[in-house]
Structure 1
Amino acid sequence: MSSSAHEDPGPGNAMAPTVFLLVGPPAVGKLRLARELERRIGAIVVDNHLVNNAVFVPMGLGRGGVALADTDALRARVLDVVLEATLAAPAPRSHVFTNWLPEDPENAAHVERLRTLARRRGARFVPVWLTATPEALLRRVDAPGRAERSKLTDPAILRELLEVPAMPAPADALGLDLTTLTPDGAVTRILEAATAD
């Protein structure tokens, strides 16, 4: 294993346990930032496809005969297990959750559930709301590798999703526009927010 991947941070990089929540539209770069947080501080990545693909893949979503709404109940059960496992993780661990959250009371409750999870773990909670211009998102949506993780790759569907109102950021959220901000720069700002008093 290389010294930069999937390792706990050394003493010089140690930081208090943190639950990061990266929220933004498809193709904004959530997983890329999460992987960089994993590389830099050893955070455990719990991206939305960990939950979704456990249901989407065996149900054959996208192959006809299954609508997204048909997966809701099973995905909720998978999420319960994932959050229970996160709570059981060793106390020093940090976690990075990713999601796209349209404006909806259930999604607002999900954010508060993660905030409570962080508190129960004795961890800091850092919500990060990510944006980019529609043009930037449409350029990125069919990038190589997205289909391998059952991510959205259809620009027409993305255009429809971008018409759905996004959930407003909580008052304590860090907002980042990733239209031109590099992933490295974005993660530096996220870590600065996580360590600010």
Structure 2
Amino acid sequence: MGPPAVGKLTIARELASRCGAIVVDNHLVNNAVFVPLGLNRGEEVSLADTDALRARVLDVVLEATEAAPARFSHVFTIWLPEGPGNAAYVERLRDLAHRRGARFVPVWLTADAGALLSRVDAPERAQRSKLTDAAVLQDLLEVPLLAAPEDGLTIDTTKIAPAQAVTQILESLR
């Protein structure tokens, strides 16, 4: 979990390359709605206007994850502002892991605002229909993030490489 441009997908992919997990990026859910609606193409569609559709897509993704063979591990990425619905989402993932007999490792990624703002307009972000507007990110950074659960691992990605973050995650499992 972490704000836009913190390195969620990059770190998830590095983790997957080391342990064979399946990456379930938040844009798997979001883009199924954002792309057809033309979000980020100047259309007058707010993020809140997409909530119900994204919730339905998420239900299907979580159902498919639960149905996956037990040998598969999954790494989910998400940005979660403070709020009871988002705390419930974390518990939903925790329960899913429990039902699958998998270990749940909540990882909270942070970075200072300057680092996030310097990363947000990277060309590869636009290829995945990710946020690329620094002004919008600046507004989002004013929204408090959901606090990490007690068993959460917090990693500051301001000055470390994705490989170092993954090493910290893997070391926490020992």
- The CA deviation string for residues 22-54 of structure 1, in whole angstroms up to 9 with x for no partner, is x01100000000110111111000010000000
Post-superposition offset of 1:74 = 0.6
After the TM superposition, which parts of structure 1 deviate over 4 Å for at least 4 consecutive aligned residues? none
Helix, strand or coil at the partner of 1:108: helix
Post-superposition offset of 1:121 = 0.2
- The CA deviation string for residues 164-190 of structure 1, in whole angstroms up to 9 with x for no partner, is 011011000001000111111110111
In structure 1, what is the equivalent of residue 14 of structure 2?
A: 36
> Structure 1: where are the runs of 5+ without partners?
1-22
Post-superposition offset of 1:65 = 2.5
Question: How many pairs were matched up?
Answer: 173
| Identity across matched positions, percent | 72
What TM-score, normalized by structure 1, do the two folds share?
Answer: 0.86
- The CA deviation string for residues 76-135 of structure 1, in whole angstroms up to 9 with x for no partner, is 000000000000111011100001100010000000000000000000000001101101
> Structure 2: where are the runs of 5+ without partners?
none
- Bigger radius of gyration among the two: 1
Task: Trace 1:23-102 onto structure 2 (pairs within 5 A).
Answer: 23-62=1-40, 63-102=42-81
What TM-score, normalized by structure 2, do the two folds share?
Answer: 0.97
More strand by share: 1
Task: Trace 1:28-177 onto structure 2 (pairs within 5 A).
Answer: 28-62=6-40, 63-177=42-156
Aligned partners of 2:113, 2:135: CA distance in 1, in Å?
Answer: 12
More helix by share: 2
